[in-house]
Amino acid sequence: MTIQYQNIVPWGRSFQEYVDMFKLIDKDLNRSILGCGDGPASFNYEMRQLGKSVVSVDPIYDLDRNFIEKRIDETYVEVLEQTRANQDKFVWGNIYSVEELGNIRMNSMRLFLEDFEEGKKQGRYTAGELPELPFEDNSFDLALVSHLLFLYSEQLSLEFHFRAIDELLRVADEVRIFPLLDLNSRKSIHLDEVIDYLISQGITVHEEKVNYEFQKGGNTMLRIIPL
């Protein structure tokens, strides 16, 4: 696996954000979960503290802790500056300022960094990436994809989305994807075609409103369940 170090922009979200983004209830949290593209999120660590099961997969897990921490430090200010320049694209409610956003993200990433080496030894952090995951068929009950598919619609083709979702359905009994907007806070150009594709395969698909909106209009997820 080849990682372009200069292209990595680590940005970690918290357990509560995952709960809200994916409408996770107690029953969901007790399932075997795959977090796909988790990066330096603290979800895995915080779930572990609750005695729950999560495996996170991301290409950055091929790097060691020091490399990831260095990249966080290099990109943190830049990401916040970009957010500040585009404040009108976000909802400043639960997160009320760019500074608070930075504090929340950094706290999550610090928890991840403290957990990463031990979690990697335990198999909770696995290097890999879509559209080919290093897991056996039906390895998980639920796969969560945060801020990857649909968000990067200009960078990731429709064919990539088809292959990625097929792969997620190979390894998990259910898939949830959030958000359904692209980086410009517009509905993904791939969304309707992906839904049509899945329906044509006899797969159940629901676009569901969630109790989370930071990107304006970004308050729905896609729930995908094979028959």
pLDDT in tens, the chain (227 residues): 443 434 557 889 999 999 999 999 999 999 999 999 999 999 999 999 999 989 999 999 999 999 999 999 988 999 999 999 999 999 998 899 999 999 999 999 999 999 999 999 999 999 999 999 999 999 999 999 999 999 999 999 999 999 999 999 999 999 999 999 999 999 999 999 999 999 999 999 999 999 999 999 999 999 999 87
Three-state DSSP state, 19: helix
Q: Cβ(175)–Cβ(145) under 8 Å?
A: yes
CA 226 to chain centre: 21
Pull the structure tokens for residue 173: 């009994």
Q: Tokens 């075997």 correspond to what residue? A: 32
d(CA 177, CA 144): 6
Query: Residue 222 CB: number of other CB atoms within 10 A?
Result: 23
Q: Indicate the fold that domain 11-226 takes in CATH.
A: Rossmann fold (3.40.50)
Q: Which pTM does this prediction carry?
A: 0.94
Largest CA distance in the chain: 46
Q: Tokens 């309707």 correspond to what residue? A: 192
Domain boundaries, the chain: 11-226
What is the Cα Rg of the chain in Å? 17
